[in-house]
Every structure is written in structure tokens, then in C-alpha cells.
Amino acid sequence: LVDAYRHKTHNITANLAKDKVRQILSQEWHAKSEARSEAGRRVWSPTSSFRSRWDVAVLLLIIWNCLAIPMRVAFEGIHPIEAFYVDYVLDIVLLVDIYLKLQHFAFTADDGTYVSNAAAIRAHYMDG
């Protein structure tokens, strides 16, 4: 029984010494911070509540566009002018989304590191 406990304790200690655990703990620390500042610039982590809400809002806007654009094409001249203003405002929100993704939304790289540098964020999203 004592040997089994020592073996289990040794395995836990060995796993804690691995880089992957430190990396995961580092990611959790970044996830807990809503926004980080880099030279006065706000950066939202991939798991921040603001970013989650923003992504849901953008998804709803995309669904709206998927429904509104075919209706606008199919029934040209029937819908009110206010619908165009709503569409333009939604397009501006989507442009703001592009700006935020290129400047302020950090990401986790393939190797598990947290990337918040503006140039690296831009390069990541421009590469696809």
C-alpha cells in the first residue's frame, strides 16, 4: 500500500514538472484576465467573456445577413428604407469585428503559447 502511494506521488510530481502542465496553468492565468494591456492597448484573451459575447453577436449578424441579403435581392423595392440603414449599421459592426480581430483579440498558437503581440495577431489572421 505504501509503495503504491509512493508510486502515485512520484507520477504526480513527474507530471507537474512537465512543460505542458506549466503551459496549461499559464493559459488559465491568461484566461482569467479579462484584458491585458500592451503599451496602452487592450488585448482580450480567447476565453474572455467579452470575446465570447462578441463572437455570438457577430454570429447573429452573419445569420441576419444570410437571411436579409437574399430577401433584399428577391423582393427589390418592396422593403422599407429603414432596412438599408440597419444593414449599413450591421456592416459597420462587421468592419469593427475585423479591426478587433486584427488588433486586440489574442490567440493561442499551435504550440500552446499565448500570443498578444499586435504584429503577430495580424500575421496570424492574415494567414488564415
Higher pLDDT, residue 87 or 22? 87
Task: Indicate if the pLDDT at residue 32 is higher than 80.
Answer: no
Count CB-CB contacts under 10 A for residue 115.
Answer: 16
Q: What is the pLDDT of residue 97?
A: 94
Q: Residue 14 — very low, low, confident or very high, per pLDDT cuts 50/70/90?
A: low
- Mean pLDDT for 109-115 is 79
Task: Give me 24's grid cell.
Answer: 496549461
Strand-pair category, 41-44 with 35-38: antiparallel
Output the pTM of the full model: 0.62
